[in-house]
A and B are shown apart, each in its own frame.
Chain A
Amino acid sequence: MTREIGQVPLHGVDQLAAQIPDGAKIAVPPDYSGVAMALTRAMIRRGLRDLHVICVPISGLQVEMLAGAGCLGTVETSAITLGEYGTAHRFQAALKAGAFRMLDATCPAVHAAIQAGGKGIPFMPLRGLLGTDLLKHRPDWTVIDNPFSKDEDPVVLLPAIRPDFAIFHAPFADRNGNVFIGRRRELVAMAHAATQSLVTVEEIRDVDLLASEETAAGTLTGAYIGGIAEAPRGAWPIKLWDIYDYDEDHLKLYGEMARTADGFTRYCDQFVQDQKAAE
C-alpha cells in the first residue's frame, strides 16, 4: 500500500519511474534547477523506450544518459551540454545514428511554449527566430503577420507544449506534498504545463509550506504533483542549488567511460543497474 503525504502518493524511486509509460512526453529542467538523476537511473533500469523529452530549456547528463540507454524517441531542446565536463558522447552518437528525432529550439521558445501549455492556450508568439534554420527545420512553428500592427510585422507562433509529466528534484516536500522550489520558477511553469509532476526530494519535512507567505512564495502546490519519492542526493552526480556541488571526479569517470557504447554499458552495470552503487 502506498503511503500518502496530504493527497500526494509517496513512492520509492522505482515505483515513481513505473508511472511513466513508453512514449511519454516528459519535461525536464536544466542542471541549475534540480535534475532528478536518481529517477533517471530508475527510468533506465525500467528500460523505457521512445520518450519525448522536452528540455526546459536545456539539459546535460540526464539526456546524455537517456540517449546512451536507448530511451529516446524525440528530443526537443535548445542545447545539450556537459559544460566543463566535456562532450556528450552518447547523445552525439545516438543523434548521428538517427536514433531519435531532434527538435532544435532556442531557450525562450521552449519557455514560451511551456507557458502557453500552463495557461491552456493553443500557442504563444515569440520575437526573433526570423531567418534562422531553427525556424526552417521546425514545421510545427509558423509565422503570421502581427494582426495588431498597421505595417507588415512577421511574428513566429509556437504551439503550446503539454507534457505528460514534469520530472525534477527539489530539496524538500512538506507533510502535505507541497514542494519547495525556491526561486526556480521554471519548475512551476513546467508543472503547470504538464498533466502531472513526478518529483524526487532530498527529504520530507514535517512543516506546512503554505502556512506563511515567506515559504508559500517558493512553493509548488501538491495539486500538480502525481507522486513524490524521497531520494537523498537525488541529483547526484549533478549539483543541487547551493546544497551540494557537481561530483567532479565521478563526472570525469563518466566522461571517460561514455566515450564508447561498451564503456557506457559498463558504467550502467556499475552505477545504474546496481542501485546501491549510485546511492
Chain B
Amino acid sequence: MDFSRQELLITTIARLLHGCRLVATGASSPIPGAGALLARAQSNGKMRVNVLGSVRNDFLCDGGVELFDLAGQGRLDAFFLGGGQIDGEANINLVGAGGEYPQTAVRWPGSFGSGYLYYLVPRVILFREEHTRRVLVPRVDFISSAGPKNDGTYRPGGPIGLLTNLCWFAFDRSKRRFRLESLHPGHSVEEVRDNTGFEFDCPDSVPFTVAPDAATLALLRTRIAAEIAETYPRFVAQVFPDLAAAGD
C-alpha cells in the first residue's frame, strides 16, 4: 500500500481521537484538522469537530471565547498543540528561543490558547512534523505551557503523547517522561535517538505505526481532502494534488 508521510500522520491522528465526542483544532493545523475530520467520518455521527478558520466545520456561534469555555467545563475532549521547542517533560515553547525574552534571537507567533487548553483538555496531542534536536530539546527556553507536574494543582488536562515525522511517543504522566511507542515505517530507534534532544523510555522492541488500510485512504483522499480544502487550500494542493486538480 502506497501512502504519503502526511497521510500516515492524518490516519494516526484519527486513531488517537477514537471515542472522543468533541474535538477542536487550532491555527495553522491542516494535518490535525484532516485527522479530526477523518475521525468524525469514522465515528458514525458520534463526534463533533471544530476546525478553526472554517465556516462549514465550525459549530460555535458565541464568539472566540466559546471554545475556551467548553474546555473549562471539560466538554472538549481533544486538542492539538505544537511547539518551536518541546522538552522531555512535555513543556512547550511557542514564543521564542535564544537570547533574553522578549528580545529572543528567534521569535515565533506566540502561545495562542496553549497556556490554558493544555491544562484543561484531557487528550492533548502534541504534534510537530520536524523531528530534530533543534525542536526536541532537553529544556525549552520559554515555557508557553507546562507539562503536568503532579503537584496537586488543578490539572484535568495534558498531553497523551507527541507525534512527529519519525514516530509516536506516548507520555507517561506519573513518570513525566515520553516513551517511544511506535516508529513510522522506514525509520529506526537509532534515527529517533540521534534526532531527539531529550531522554525517553524505549522498550526492547518498538512496533511500527499502523499503516492506513485501503478504505481509510480512499475516504481520506476524497471526502476528507475536500472538507479540509475549505480551510487549507494550499495544503490540499500540495498533499492531494489529484483532488485539487479535479476541483479546478
Q: Give me the interface of A with B, judged by CB distance under 8 Å.
A: 30, 32-33, 56-58, 77-81, 83-84, 88, 92, 95-96, 98, 102, 104-109, 111-112, 115, 126-135, 137, 151-155, 183-189, 242
Closest to B69 in A: A108
Complex Cα spacing A83 to B145, Å: 21
Contacting residues, chain A, for B149 (C-beta < 8 A)? 131
Contact A128 B53, beta carbon cutoff 8 Å: no
Contact A183 B62, beta carbon cutoff 8 Å: yes
Contact B145 A132, beta carbon cutoff 8 Å: yes
Contacting residues, chain A, for B145 (C-beta < 8 A)? 106, 128, 132
Complex Cα spacing A83 to B68, Å: 21
Proximity string of chain B (33-65) to chain A, C-beta cutoff 8 Å, 1 when within and 0 when not = 000000000000000000001010000111111
Contact B146 A131, beta carbon cutoff 8 Å: yes
Task: Say which residue of A32, A109, A137, A183 sits within 8 Å of B116 (CB atoms).
Answer: A109
Contact B27 A81, beta carbon cutoff 8 Å: yes
Closest to B61 in A: A183
* Interface residue? B222 (CB, 8 A): no
Contact B113 A133, beta carbon cutoff 8 Å: no
Contact B65 A242, beta carbon cutoff 8 Å: no
Chain A nearest Cβ from B142, distance in angstroms = 5
Complex Cα spacing A33 to B65, Å: 13
- Given contacts A57-B64, A111-B64, could you give 8 more A-B pairs where the C-beta distance is less than 8 Å? A78-B111, A78-B112, A79-B110, A84-B28, A98-B103, A105-B111, A106-B113, A106-B144
For chains A and B in complex, what number of residue pairs have CB atoms within 8 angstroms? 137
Complex Cα spacing A52 to B63, Å: 23
Contact A134 B111, beta carbon cutoff 8 Å: yes
Closest to A187 in B: B63
B interface: dominant SS: loop
Complex Cα spacing A104 to B109, Å: 10
Complex Cα spacing A151 to B28, Å: 39
Complex Cα spacing A83 to B119, Å: 25
Chain A CB count within 10 A is highest, among B27, B60, B65, for B65
Contact B116 A129, beta carbon cutoff 8 Å: yes
Contacting residues, chain A, for B114 (C-beta < 8 A)? 106
Contact A189 B65, beta carbon cutoff 8 Å: yes
Chain A nearest Cβ from B79, distance in angstroms = 12
Known contacts A104-B102, A154-B153, A242-B55; A132 and B143 CB within 8 A of each other: yes
Which 3 pairs across A and B sit closest by C-beta, in order of nearness? A185-B63, A106-B115, A79-B110
Complex Cα spacing A56 to B118, Å: 20
Complex Cα spacing A112 to B94, Å: 21
Known contacts A92-B107, A104-B95, A108-B113; A133 and B142 CB within 8 A of each other: yes
Contact B63 A183, beta carbon cutoff 8 Å: yes
Complex Cα spacing A84 to B232, Å: 9
Complex Cα spacing A155 to B115, Å: 13
Chain A nearest Cβ from B155, distance in angstroms = 8
Contacting residues, chain A, for B109 (C-beta < 8 A)? 58, 79-81, 88
Chain B nearest Cβ from A130, distance in angstroms = 5
* Interface residue? B117 (CB, 8 A): yes
Chain B nearest Cβ from A53, distance in angstroms = 14
* Interface residue? B120 (CB, 8 A): yes
Contact B63 A184, beta carbon cutoff 8 Å: yes
Task: Say which residue of B61, B101, B113, B154 sits within 8 Å of A153 (CB atoms).
Answer: B154
Contacting residues, chain B, for A183 (C-beta < 8 A)? 60-63
Complex Cα spacing A95 to B106, Å: 11
Task: Say which residue of B53, B118, B120 sits within 8 Å of A32 (CB atoms).
Answer: B53
Task: Say which residue of B94, B111, B146 sits within 8 Å of A130 (CB atoms).
Answer: B146
Chain B CB count within 10 A is highest, among A33, A78, A132, for A132
Contacting residues, chain B, for A154 (C-beta < 8 A)? 153
* Interface residue? B138 (CB, 8 A): no
Contact A109 B115, beta carbon cutoff 8 Å: yes
Complex Cα spacing A135 to B101, Å: 13
Q: List 23 A-B contacts (CB under 8 A).
A: A78-B111, A79-B110, A79-B111, A95-B102, A95-B107, A96-B107, A104-B95, A104-B110, A106-B145, A107-B68, A111-B64, A111-B68, A127-B116, A127-B154, A128-B117, A128-B118, A128-B120, A129-B115, A132-B111, A133-B142, A137-B102, A151-B152, A186-B63
Contacting residues, chain B, for A95 (C-beta < 8 A)? 102-103, 107
Contact A152 B152, beta carbon cutoff 8 Å: yes
Task: Say which residue of B68, B72, B115, B152 sits within 8 Å of A132 (CB atoms).
Answer: B115
Complex Cα spacing A42 to B94, Å: 32
Known contacts A80-B109, A188-B63; A128 and B28 CB within 8 A of each other: no
Proximity string of chain B (89-111) to chain A, C-beta cutoff 8 Å, 1 when within and 0 when not = 00000110000011100010111
